[in-house]
Amino acid sequence: MADNKFVYFFGNEETEGKNSMKDLLGGKGANLAEMANLGIPVPPGFTITTEVCLLYLEKGVYPEEVIDQINNAVIKLEKVTGKKFGDTENPLLISVRSGARVSMPGMMDTVLNLGLNDDTVIGLSKKTGNDRFAYDSYRRFLTMFGDVVLDIEHEKFESALSAKKKTLGVIQDTELDASALKELAEQFKEIIRKETGTDFPQEPRKQLQMAIDAVFNSWNNQRAITYRRLNNIPGKWGTAVNVQSMVYGNMGETSGTGVAFTRDPATGDKRFFGEYLMNAQGEDVVAGIRTPEPISTLKDNLPEAYARLEAIYHKLEDHFRDMQDIEFTIEEGKLFMLQTRTGKRTAAAALKIAVDMVNEGLIDKRTAVTRVSPEQIDRLLHPTLDSQAEFEVLATGLPASPGAAVGKVVFTAEHAEEMAKANEKVILVRTETSPEDIGGMDAAQGILTVRGGMTSHAAVVARGMGKPCVAGCGSVTIDMASCAFSVSDVTINEGDYVTIDGSTGSLILGEVELVTPGVSGELDTLLSWADEIREMGVRTNADTPHDAQVARDFGAEGIGLCRTEHMFFGEDRIPAVREMILAEDTEVRKAALDKLLPMQKEDFIGLFKVMDGLPVTIRLLDPPLHEFLPKHEELADKLRSLEAEKGSDSEIERIKKIMERVDSMVEVNPMLGHRGCRLGITYPEIYEMQVRAIIEAACELKAGGMDIVPEIMIPLVSHVNELRSTKEDLVEVAESVMAEKNCKFDYLVGTMIELPRAALTADKIAEEAEFFSFGTNDLTQTTFGFSRDDAGKFLPVYIENSILPSDPFAVLDQEGVGELVKIGIEKGRSTRPDIKIGICGEHGGEPSSVKFGYNIGLNYVSCSPFRVPIARLAAAQAVIEKQDN
């Protein structure tokens, strides 16, 4: 059947795939085809589709046509290369490479030089006249085949290799001669026999089949599953297999292999950046076996190949309009490209490249806005070393992934994960990392390795995760036996604090103060482009002029939530607050409130001034009053010491009375207790004072020429009558203050929607409310019936067991809580079409929740100051995503 095409050829004019076929061919296969289409030299080969992977994993066998199509493709490959698979005169050797839709570094393994056996290796040697090369290829193939396909511990081959080098007194693999390599090949076959109980399969077709099976099976190995989980990659994508004719970087000193980025992946600087090794193959460069050379020196070594590489990388960047991560091999001076993909980069590099490429005319602003993720913005605002701090650098490695981190030293990934679970901050210190370490790297604050370059596993993965990483810190010696590492005569034990700076490569003993940077330069530019695109407002949650200023500097367009209770906790206020709460009658309470009035007024003046005409939503007192009182135990202690010291009777009496009051106010369930508008209804004088403070503050600033529109917000409304009665009262106060001050201006009275009943009756509530703000923290709490303060006991288990996809207090539960928000918006607008609706609470700065908010029609989100830039970008991306769908 024609539509059952499972194999796609690439590498010449008959290339069948292209870049847009990533779902079917995987990223590697699609881009190999695309390079071939661009006329770039790619060793020919073919791609077996991801569909085959899924069918094979499901059924355990291949559809019949697949085998035929593979056989035909091999024949075609033989024709194109003029070599023959399994031939003893001129053998075709191939690589078998995995390649999923998105790159999964190190997750899947590659087998090189497949097709070699005891006979073809002789053919290869004769054909090339290079005995050493032939047996170098053979021993590599046996290792990779043993490791990847036969699942024999890599270490077994590695230690045989080390022993051989030791016996011969050489250090580098390249110093082994043909006869040593020949002996190694024999030893390796022996290892395979011993470990598997069968002989190494000499038959090339058998080797090919086994390698293909292994790639498909590796889709479901533990490392791959963990990586997918951490990166939200669906298991149902599957991987493709690329079978490609070999080119040889190990043919001598005019051959080599390397990896490069078209721009600096750490800083985003526009310079070619990479590493290579002469007389090497495949993963030698990234495996840290020999220390690779910087790409710039290739210019002197092999100028012609370098010039070609330069032309190709420009071509690739222009074509893909993004920074590329490329892999190449030079065979006796001739350059071949083996891979290109969008390069992983740090947050700083993502930002710089996005802005630079707009300036270079490669991409438009809209595209640039999609090139940086909100999470990356978060990272950019993450800590660096405090420039004021004094410290001594203990050792220096490569600046592999920027940012600074502080934590306790651990030496294994498992330990890192355990410690992180116990809320400890750790720095993972390893000789080098491998894919098994991914969980531990994710759990650590930062990573330090002893070996490896800028493209080592640790560096690549850390940059992807946005973790600070210092790689190749060679002066560090790890002693696993004593759980310590040393740098010359300094010993650092497991559990000791260190600080690393991945921007400079420094390792520092102890804890250094970290600072968080602000929005400037390119970030400012990118966010201004985001602002041009986004339709939803971004406000901030702020209770102090300082926070409000920080948020404005981050681009906040007003305050969406000012929690007035935070003002009550101030040292100068709490005595009056307690006096107010403990008052026996209204008169005494009013007297205490009178003391608070001028302070509240000053608070609001401060906020209004910073916001300078932007809307400010002020929420009236929300928490239960007992939160402001001293705890019973505290009072009991005081009483005991007063009695012991023979304190005055009146003081003892006073404390006793307070204690009685405290005891009487204890609530079994304070979250659902006497709080929010329930306070306003039972103690109207509190809200009256607050509204007076708001209106007086506004009057004062108005007189000075400032334009203020206060938004007064009533919390925890569940029934419209609560709002109606409170509002009536407050409007009366507001009007009378304005009359007193002879000042008139608009103000709004609105409500939080944070209880399911409020969302469900939002049409009625909107008859009174002039705006809504969804308090998604309480709404999540009351919708799930999860107490926020107690959820820590079970939520982690829920998430671990996939009962919930994520913490609903961090990521809005769109299906449940989100549905209530949707209902609330629809019902609210049904009775007051122009009602202004926002969201405050943690979710207002969480990217997926912001995007959801846009799609259901919010006017604005409000979030903590540091999340304002994240929300600005997420809101813009929401618009683009909607347009693209």
Select from 240-248, 635-643, 701-709, 842-850 the region that touches ligand ADP (CB under 6 A).
240-248
Q: Which does 460 bind (CB under 5 to 8 A by kind): ligand ADP, Mg ion, none?
A: none
Residue 107 vs 823, nearer CB to ligand ADP: 107
Residue 14: exposure state from Cβ atoms within 10 A (0-12, 13-18, ≥19): exposed
In 177-244, alpha helices (H): 178-196, 204-218, 222-231
Residues 618-677 that bind Mg ion (CB under 5 A): none
Residue 246 vs 607, nearer CB to ligand ADP: 246
CA–CA separation, 413 and 430 (whole Å): 9
Q: Which residues are within 8 A (CB) of 2 and not within 5 positions of it... i.e. 6 or more apart?
A: none
Instruction: Identify which of 294, 249, 218, 687 has the alpha carbon closest to the alpha carbon of residue 455.
Output: 294
Residues 267-286 that bind ligand ADP (CB under 6 A): 282-283
- Which residue in the set 47, 117, 120, 257 belongs to the binding site for ligand ADP (CB under 6 A)? 257
Q: To the nearest whole angstrom, how small is the minimum distance from the Cβ of residue 330 to ligand ADP? A: 10
Q: Which does 120 bind (CB under 5 to 8 A by kind): Mg ion, ligand ADP, none?
A: none
* Structure-token pair, residue 97: 């490479």
Residue 95 vs 617, nearer CB to ligand ADP: 95
In 539-614, alpha helices (H): 545-553, 565-568, 574-582, 586-611
- DSSP character for 840? E
CA–CA separation, 60 and 55 (whole Å): 8
Select from 103-111, 159-167, 358-366, 770-778 the region that touches Mg ion (CB under 5 A).
103-111
CA–CA separation, 466 and 860 (whole Å): 29
CB count within 10 Å of CB 311 equals 12
Residue 290 vs 757, nearer CB to Mg ion: 290
Q: To the nearest whole angstrom, how small is the minimum distance from the Cβ of residue 47 to ligand ADP? A: 12
Q: Which does 381 bind (CB under 5 to 8 A by kind): ligand ADP, Mg ion, none?
A: none
What number of residues does the chain have? 885
Q: To the nearest whole angstrom, how small is the minimum distance from the Cβ of residue 48 to Mg ion? A: 17
Residues 302-361 that bind Mg ion (CB under 5 A): 327, 339
Q: To the nearest whole angstrom, how small is the minimum distance from the Cβ of residue 109 to Mg ion? A: 5
State the helix-helix crossing angle for 131-144 and 154-168, rounded to 10 degrees: 150
Which residues does residue 84 pair with via DSSP β-bridges, in sequence order?
91
SS3 508: strand
Q: Which amino acid is at 436?
A: E
Q: To the nearest whole angstrom, how small is the minimum distance from the Cβ of residue 400 to ligand ADP? A: 18
CA–CA separation, 415 and 421 (whole Å): 10
The rounded Cα 101 to chain-centroid distance in angstroms is: 19
Q: To the nearest whole angstrom, how small is the minimum distance from the Cβ of residue 134 to Mg ion? A: 24
Residues 336-355 that bind ligand ADP (CB under 6 A): 338-339
Which residues does residue 94 pair with via DSSP β-bridges, in sequence order?
114, 245
Q: Which does 329 bind (CB under 5 to 8 A by kind): Mg ion, ligand ADP, none?
A: ligand ADP
Select from 239-247, 270-278, 287-295, 433-441 the region that touches ligand ADP (CB under 6 A).
239-247
Q: To the nearest whole angstrom, how small is the minimum distance from the Cβ of residue 242 to Mg ion? A: 10
Residue 247 vs 459, nearer CB to ligand ADP: 247
Q: Which does 694 bind (CB under 5 to 8 A by kind): Mg ion, ligand ADP, none?
A: none
- The C-alpha angle with vertex 220 and arms to 219 and 225, in degrees rounded to 5, equals 95
Q: Which residues are within 8 A (CB) of 106 and not within 5 positions of it... i.e. 6 or more apart?
A: 223, 434, 435, 457, 460, 461
Q: To the nearest whole angstrom, how small is the minimum distance from the Cβ of residue 295 to ligand ADP? A: 14
Residue pointed to by tokens 């881009």: 31
CB count within 10 Å of CB 116 equals 28
- Interface with Mg ion (CB under 5 A), residue total 3
Q: Half-sphere exposure of residue 114, counting CA atoms within 13 Å on the CB side?
A: 28
* Structure-token pair, residue 393: 């650098």
Q: Which amino acid is at 544?
A: T
CA–CA separation, 12 and 76 (whole Å): 11
Catalytic residue status for 483: no
Cα diameter, the chain:
110
* 308 lines the binding site for ligand ADP (CB under 6 A): no
- Which residue in the set 174, 244, 401, 814 belongs to the binding site for ligand ADP (CB under 6 A)? 244
Residues 89-128 that bind ligand ADP (CB under 6 A): 95, 97, 110, 112
CA–CA separation, 783 and 758 (whole Å): 12
- Interface with ligand ADP (CB under 6 A), residue total 15
Select from 243-251, 382-390, 432-440, 509-517 the region that touches ligand ADP (CB under 6 A).
243-251
CA–CA separation, 92 and 347 (whole Å): 43
Residues 10-39 that bind Mg ion (CB under 5 A): none
Residues 107-136 that bind Mg ion (CB under 5 A): 110
Select from 241-249, 393-401, 424-432, 800-808 the region that touches ligand ADP (CB under 6 A).
241-249
**CA-based R_g, the chain, Å:** 34
Phi, psi angle pair for 769, to nearest 5°: -80, 135
Q: To the nearest whole angstrom, how small is the minimum distance from the Cβ of residue 610 to Mg ion? A: 51
What stretch of H or E contains 346? none
Catalytic residue status for 840: yes
SS3 749: strand
Q: To the nearest whole angstrom, how small is the minimum distance from the Cβ of residue 290 to ligand ADP? A: 14
Residue 96 vs 876, nearer CB to Mg ion: 96
Give the 3-state secondary structure percentages of the chain, helix then strand then coil, rounded to 5. 50, 15, 30
Instruction: Identify which of 710, 695, 709 has the alpha carbon closest to the alpha carbon of residue 743.
Output: 695
Instruction: Identify which of 458, 194, 375, 695 has the alpha carbon closest to the alpha carbon of residue 186.
Output: 194
Q: To the nearest whole angstrom, how small is the minimum distance from the Cβ of residue 121 to Mg ion? A: 24
CA–CA separation, 73 and 92 (whole Å): 13
Residue 339 vs 564, nearer CB to Mg ion: 339
Select from 244-252, 425-433, 784-792, 838-846 the region that touches ligand ADP (CB under 6 A).
244-252
Q: Which of 562, 840, 843, 863 is catalytic?
A: 840
Q: Which does 862 bind (CB under 5 to 8 A by kind): Mg ion, ligand ADP, none?
A: none
Q: To the nearest whole angstrom, how small is the minimum distance from the Cβ of residue 100 to ligand ADP? A: 9
Residue 251 vs 377, nearer CB to ligand ADP: 251
Instruction: Identify which of 455, 437, 712 has the alpha carbon closest to the alpha carbon of residue 447.
Output: 437
- Which residue in the set 212, 246, 400, 759 belongs to the binding site for ligand ADP (CB under 6 A)? 246
Residue 130 vs 859, nearer CB to ligand ADP: 130
Q: Which of 382, 415, 457, 843 is catalytic?
A: 457
Residues 37-66 that bind ligand ADP (CB under 6 A): 43
Residue 327 vs 442, nearer CB to Mg ion: 327
Q: Half-sphere exposure of residue 398, counting CA atoms within 13 Å on the CB side?
A: 21
Residue 457 vs 872, nearer CB to Mg ion: 457
- Which residue in the set 50, 329, 761, 781 belongs to the binding site for ligand ADP (CB under 6 A)? 329
State the helix-helix crossing angle for 817-831 and 776-784, rounded to 10 degrees: 120
* 812 lines the binding site for ligand ADP (CB under 6 A): no
Residue pointed to by tokens 């010993």: 491
Residue 45 vs 775, nearer CB to Mg ion: 45
- Site residues for ligand ADP per CB under 6 A: 43, 95, 97, 110, 112, 244, 246-247, 257, 282-283, 327, 329, 338-339
Query: Contact positions toward Mg ion, by CB under 5 A?
Result: 110, 327, 339
| Residues forming the active site | 457, 840
